[in-house]
């Protein structure tokens, strides 16, 4: 019975992937990574230049899973209260009432998040960690299932603020899309020539399905050897001369969840070291704080991740259970 439920849940996510691909052209690897994160309840950060489809991908996922969708366009004049909500005086009721902010949705797209000030960016810290917002001492729970996908422009772009370390650490997965191949771009032009196919994209899952899938994913078995493998990777980052700041225990948890997500999408009820290796670059690279020497040598965080993975011994001979 458990195997049947797992197969059913995997088919549901595969249907979501197929639905997204009916609009979004190419980038199968990034769609897979996005669905691993979404299934595991890990928030996603997409960094790339404007116009490559970051927002379109997010909207395709939101439409496919039937979640209540809200988009926040981050700008320099955006205030924390616009996002979290605020208390206002009601003359009729003669009391202060909570007015919901833009975050009160199941699926939130934080578009161009690094165009807002660090103060406004920090309004997402509690949201992404605890699924709630606190305004004037009162905590308000967000609707479930809850998911944040944020897009950001490269920090070198005009008017962009770097995300603080604490916020980067709350994003479970980060990746870039890159430009499409010529044949893919030709297909994009054909699909969008006469109409916007996203407007006709309907859901193939429900919020109830997503909650069930996330529960199933949490039951994916992770052996002690795989857990120790994850801890060894984290420990290696904390002693690296190329890093000013290594991985946090939260990062280790996210890597384990991502490995469970990878196993889930592969139809397995147990995680293996290869699942960890597959998702490690997407989970770890955006969290690493490079040393001054590494920045001078123009070393990319993903290069450091690759070096670290090459140093840590991969456990072998694991039993499924």
CATH 3.40.50.300 intervals, the chain? 2-218
The pTM for the full model equals 0.90
DSSP state for residue 97 in the 8-state scheme: E
Q: Which value, to the nearest 10 degrees, does the dihedral of the CA atoms of residues 240, 151, 106, 101 take?
A: 110
Q: For the ranges 46-50, 221-225, 275-279, which has the lowest average pLDDT?
A: 46-50
In sign, the C-alpha dihedral spanning 129, 130, 133, 139 is negative
Q: Are 147 and 36 in contact (CB under 8 A)?
A: no
Residue 228: what pLDDT? 96
The better pLDDT of the pair 244, 313 is held by: 313
Please give the biggest Cα pair distance in the chain. 70
Residue 65: what pLDDT? 92
Residue 156: what pLDDT? 59
The better pLDDT of the pair 259, 138 is held by: 259
Question: 2-218, which class in CATH?
Answer: alpha beta
Q: For the ranges 11-20, 128-137, 155-164, 183-192, which has the lowest average pLDDT?
A: 155-164
Residue 167: what pLDDT? 87
Residue 234: what pLDDT? 93
Residue 1: what pLDDT? 47
Q: Is it true that the peptide bond before 245 is cis, omega within 30 degrees of 0?
A: no
DSSP state for residue 313 in the 8-state scheme: P
Q: What are phi and psi of 121, to 5 degrees?
A: -55, -40
pLDDT of 317 strictly over 80: no
H-helix or E-strand spanning residue 244: strand 243-245
Q: Which CATH number fits domain 220-313: 1.10.1670.10, 3.40.47.10, 1.10.8.80, 3.40.50.1100?
A: 1.10.8.80
CATH 1.10.8.80 intervals, the chain? 220-313
Residue 190: what pLDDT? 92
With a pLDDT cut of 90, the percent of the chain lying above it is: 45
How far apart are alpha carbons 264 and 9 in whole angstroms? Answer: 9
Output the six-digit token pair for 257: 């969840």
């Amino acid at each position: 019975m458990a195997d049947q439920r797992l197969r059913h849940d995997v088919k549901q996510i595969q249907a979501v992937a197929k639905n997204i691909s009916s609009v979004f052209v190419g980038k199968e690897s990034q769609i897979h990574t996005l669905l691993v994160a979404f299934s595991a309840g890990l928030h996603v950060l997409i960094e790339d230049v404007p116009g490559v489809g970051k927002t379109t991908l997010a909207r395709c996922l939101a439409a496919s899973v039937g979640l209540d969708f809200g988009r926040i366009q981050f700008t320099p004049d955006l205030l924390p209260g616009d996002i979290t909500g605020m208390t206002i005086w009601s003359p009729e009721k003669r009391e202060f009432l909570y007015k919901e902010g833009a975050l009160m949705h199941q699926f939130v797209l934080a578009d161009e998040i690094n165009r807002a000030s660090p103060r406004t960016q920090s309004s997402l810290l509690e949201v992404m960690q605890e699924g709630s917002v606190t305004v004037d001492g009162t905590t308000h729970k967000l609707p479930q299932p809850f998911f944040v996908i944020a897009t950001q422009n490269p920090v070198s772009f005009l008017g962009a603020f770097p995300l603080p370390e604490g916020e980067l650490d709350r994003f479970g997965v980060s990746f870039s899309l890159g430009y499409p191949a010529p044949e893919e771009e030709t297909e994009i032009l054909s699909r969008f020539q006469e109409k916007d196919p996203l407007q006709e994209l309907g859901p193939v899952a429900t919020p109830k399905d997503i909650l069930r899938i996330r529960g199933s994913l949490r039951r994916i078995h992770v052996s002690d050897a795989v857990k120790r493998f994850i801890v060894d990777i984290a420990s290696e980052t904390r002693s690296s001369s190329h890093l000013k700041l290594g991985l946090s225990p939260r990062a280790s948890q996210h890597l384990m969840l991502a490995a469970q997500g990878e196993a889930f999408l592969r139809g397995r009820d147990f995680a293996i070291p290869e699942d960890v290796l597959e998702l490690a670059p997407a989970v770890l690279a955006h969290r690493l704080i490079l040393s001054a020497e590494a920045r001078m040598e123009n070393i990319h965080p993903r290069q450091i991740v690759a070096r670290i993975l090459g140093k840590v011994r991969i456990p072998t001979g694991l039993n499924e259970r």
